[in-house]
Structure 1
Amino acid sequence: MSENKSRREFISQSGKMVTACALFGATGSVAYAADPAKQICETGKPMSISAKHYYLDNVLLEAGFNFDGSVATSTRTELKTLEIKDGKIVALRDNKSHTDATLPHYDATLPHYDAGNKLMLPAMRDMHIHLDKTFYGGPWRSLNRPAGTTIQDMIRLEQKLLPELQPYTQERAEKLIDLIQSKGSTIARSHCNIEPVSGLKNLENLQAVLSRRKPGFDCEIVAFPQHGLLLSHSEKLMREAMQAGAHYVGGLDPTNVDGAMEKSLDTMFQIALDYNKGVDIHLHETSPAGVAAVNYMVETVEKTPALKGKLTISHAFALATLNEQQVDEIATRMAAQQVTIASTVPIGTLHMPLKQLRDKGVFVMTGTDSVIDHWSPYGLGDMLEKANLYAQLYIRPNEQTLSRALGIATGDVLPLNDKGERVWPKAQDDASFVLVDASCSAEAVARISPRTATFHNGNLVWGAVG
């Protein structure tokens, strides 16, 4: 007890001496395969837009809700022209209205492209994925693991598999990025194995890929001690990963894997404080130990000002074991400390209190997690599918709530606010968006509508426009 107490005091004191800085961050299903034909222009090459300043005509934007009393019954839209320059939306114009050539600060010969009357939605964010280990892009492999397989069994399996996967890390990470861009995501947070089998090699491979993809894709990296921070003696490697440029300190089931909840969590937090990084922990535990871990982490942030706004709890399945009052209590504390929940919106026996968390002001984001790997064969890389799952599981499917459900996929960036006023896009917003074959965001969420083009900071990164 005295050792744990002194360790916590040290974390608290360390935290008070660390100046917090803003990290890059987020402020049954139907699958649509990416249509390769959409990516190819007439020359047979993938389409790109080289111009830094151009117009995009025939963009369908949401303009407001139609109300019956206080109930939004449908969504109004209008066609607009976007003027895009140096990665920003510099103006919304009447459709096909290009600037008069007599104005000296504009070029009337700007190229212009046709969005084809497709709905423009904010770019999506895959905020929990493992780009560094996947079968995707290689031959199909199913799991073939027996019932009753434990996390310890999976760790042993990984220790055998990782050397086999590592030569393909860069190639398959590139293919995964192509996949999620085809679904409209241009921002991601990838967990990356840091443990004795991989060393820092997965991190080096992933950083090389992300450097190449930078113009069209932004990705944070979580150093992830998949084999247990304490169990695999990975603290030294984790510290090296922080020095090598990882953005977040990861963790994993401190009781079930490390067998020492407080020591495991304290070590994780201390690394974050020492390098002024954020924390993003995988917490799968649904036993009372999982609830204890959530409470311990929130309490640590409450006592350590430098950690406010820097804790993400991924999965957080233990929250599904709480009653409504207990969720309200922990959610209120989480919201006050700006704790984020990253959920894959699981289907099955767990009824996650995601709507309740969001209603209490907790920032909830979503991600793919696995894409055809030794953990799961199901991941589609599609955040619109996640919004659809969230809607099916947790809300009443009316126009307004369906449109709000999109926020779980976009970092809560929405075209309309709750009153139906357009708040996105506006001048000086990043030109990061996806064109969708839908009449409004409510339809896009309900139907998982096909995407036709994805833009990141003004760059066309997938698909085609006219």
Structure 2
Amino acid sequence: MSTWLRNVRLETGEATREDGSLQTKSELFHIQVAKEGVIQTIIPGSENVSDADAIDMEGKLALPAFKEMHNHLDKTYLSLGWRACRPVKNLSERLAIEAAELEELAETVEQRASAMIELHLNNGVNHIRTHVNIDPFIKLKNLEGVKNALKAYEQYLTYEIVAFPQHGLLAHEEMPNLLRQALESGATILGGLDPAGIDKDIEKSLQVTMDIAKEYGVDVDMHLHDRGQVGFYTMDKWLDMVKEQNYAGNTAFSHAFGLSKLSPHLQKQFAKKLSEHDVEIMSTIPISINHQLIPLNILKTEGVKVALGCDGFYDSWSPNFSGDILEKVHNFCDYTGKSDERSLRQSLSLITQGVTPLNIEGTQEWPKIGEEASFVFVDASCSAEAVARLPKKRLLMHKGKLYKSKH
């Protein structure tokens, strides 16, 4: 049985005001959602819908559902009460603290992951890519808990699970096989972490990663915090391996801090190489490292896919951040000086896998009949206002099913 959504605001185009500034135009529509979860009909709001079970959206703006592309469901302290971070002198100390608490936290991973999932659903997210610690301390315990948590919400979201070697791939001899076990037990993507800074052997770390990825035919998503020349070399070396071993289209670089100190000319050159190999950059914002920007604008201009994620939040690494993926877009616009209607509007693509209601010329492209009926409904006149003003009350529909918060 289909469902009608009445009085849905959709962006339809743009107009130019007398002062030359742009204004996004919108109108009210009724949308019929088929029982299969796809858009069946879109008609003007002036027409009558006689369905007694129709849901009145009361003029709320429909946006494409959000995608959270870099997250750590297993690390959060959510649901455990307040905890600040313990101070450390360096990364090694932070990793040691995390390792020490892994056993304790593993007992509550499903509970904590569920709390984070519900927060994302309330904020309009219907897809989560989560990294999950796979290490010698807890082995696959976190993976099992995260899998159970995600399974409970499958009617409202899709997901990917990255087997993440947080404590190094080479430091512990059992790690390669633990990652293999994770990929055989529900992880869908192979993770990596700083082949230089953590593994201390770029070539060997990358080769072991490539070997496992090809063995299981999975994508690779690497955390790359290493900066300067060593960070750039790591990415460049991996792309050479991708070309040599015919593995294009299977890579994401998370953070990619090694891009920050390149000159704009080299950033543009390397962006073209990233695009040629179909590499996606997963940024967690902020994008400034010692006042050097990760060049997201250049990357997008050169055709590189760029997505955002909230990363881990409220955990042993950071007590900060609200967990709102739309706030990440807002901060990106703030950091990069995007304040006009069009640039605010187009920045929404960073959390929708490229989908925006209007294209860069202001022509309507979404939603269309036959597409998945997944929306975020907000109180805003247009997507530019939503990015700038961060409406708090949001309602998620995933494939025709409205999510109702448990709290």
Q: Corresponding residue for 2:25?
A: 76
Matched with 1:91 is 41
Counterpart among 320, 331, 345 of residue 271 in structure 2: 331
Contact residue 17 and residue 23 of structure 2 kept, 8 A: no
| 1:393 counterpart residue number | 335
TM-score normalised by structure 2 residue count: 0.95
1:158 aligns with 2:98: yes
Establish whether residue 228 from structure 1 lines up as the match of residue 172 from structure 2: no
Conservation of the 8 A alpha-carbon contact between 1:129 and 1:189: yes
The answer on whether the counterparts of 1:192 and 1:203 sit within 8 Å (CA) in structure 2 is yes
Question: What do the CA deviations read for 1:442-461 (whole angstroms, capped 9, x no partner)?
Answer: 11111112233111111111
Q: Which residue of 2 aligns with 1:62?
A: 11
Query: What does the per-residue CA deviation read over 1:29-57, in whole Å, with 9 as the maximum and x for residues that have no partner?
Result: xxxxxxxxxxxxxxxxxxxxxxx521011
Q: How far is 1:294 from its partner?
A: 1.0
Aligned pair partner of 1:262 in 197, 203, 220: 203
The equivalent of 1:16 in structure 2 is none
Please give the per-residue CA displacement for 1:104-163, whole angstroms capped at 9, x wherever unaligned.
xxxx656200111111100001100000121011111101213x322x222211211101
The whole-number CA distance in structure 2 between the counterparts of 1:110 and 1:232 is 62
Residue 346 of structure 2 corresponds to which residue in structure 1?
404
Q: Unpaired segments of 5 or more residues in structure 2?
A: none
Matched, 1:210 2:134: no
Partners of 2:8 and 2:31 within 8 A in 1? yes
Q: Distance in 2 between matches of 1:321 and 1:267?
A: 28
Work out whether residues 126 and 185 of structure 1, in 8 Å CA contact, stay in contact via their aligned partners in 2: yes
User: Counterpart of 1:66 in structure 2: which amino acid?
Assistant: A
- 1:322 matched residue in structure 2: 262
Q: Give the structure 1 partner of residue 241 of structure 2.
A: 300
Distance in 2 between residues matched to 1:391 and 1:444, nearest whole Å: 12
Q: SS state of the match for residue 240, structure 1?
A: helix
1:59 is paired with a residue whose SS is: strand
1:199 aligns with 2:148: no
After alignment, is 60-69 or 246-255 more displaced?
Answer: 60-69
Q: Is the 8 A contact 1:55 1:110 kept in 2?
A: no
Counterpart amino acid of 2:5? L
For 2:316 and 2:187, the matched residues in 1 are separated by 24
Counterpart amino acid of residue 362 in structure 2: G
Q: What SS is found at the alignment partner of 2:107?
A: helix
Q: In the TM superposition, what is the alpha-carbon distance from 1:363 to its structure 2 partner?
A: 0.3
Could you tell me which runs of 5 or more consecutive residues in structure 1 were left unpaired when the two chains were aligned: 1-51, 100-107
**For 2:128 and 2:77, how far apart are their aligned partners in 1?**
19
Structure 2 CA distance, aligned partners of 1:190 and 1:422? 32
Aligned identity (percent) is 36
> What's 1:248 paired with?
189
**Does the 8 A contact of 1:134 with 1:165 survive in 2?**
no
Q: Given the alignment of the two structures, is residue 174 of structure 1 paired with residue 123 of structure 2, yes or no?
A: no
Partner of 1:430: 372
In 1: Cα distance, 2:391 partner to 2:239 partner: 38
Q: Name the CA distance, whole Å, in 1 between partners of 2:281 and 2:326.
A: 18
Give the whole-Å Cα distance in 1 for the aligned partners of 2:90 and 2:148: 34
Runs of 4+ in 1 over 4 A off after TM superposition: none
For residues 90-169 of structure 1, the aligned pairs below 5 Å read 90-95=40-45, 97=47, 109=51, 111-146=53-88, 148-150=89-91, 152-169=92-109
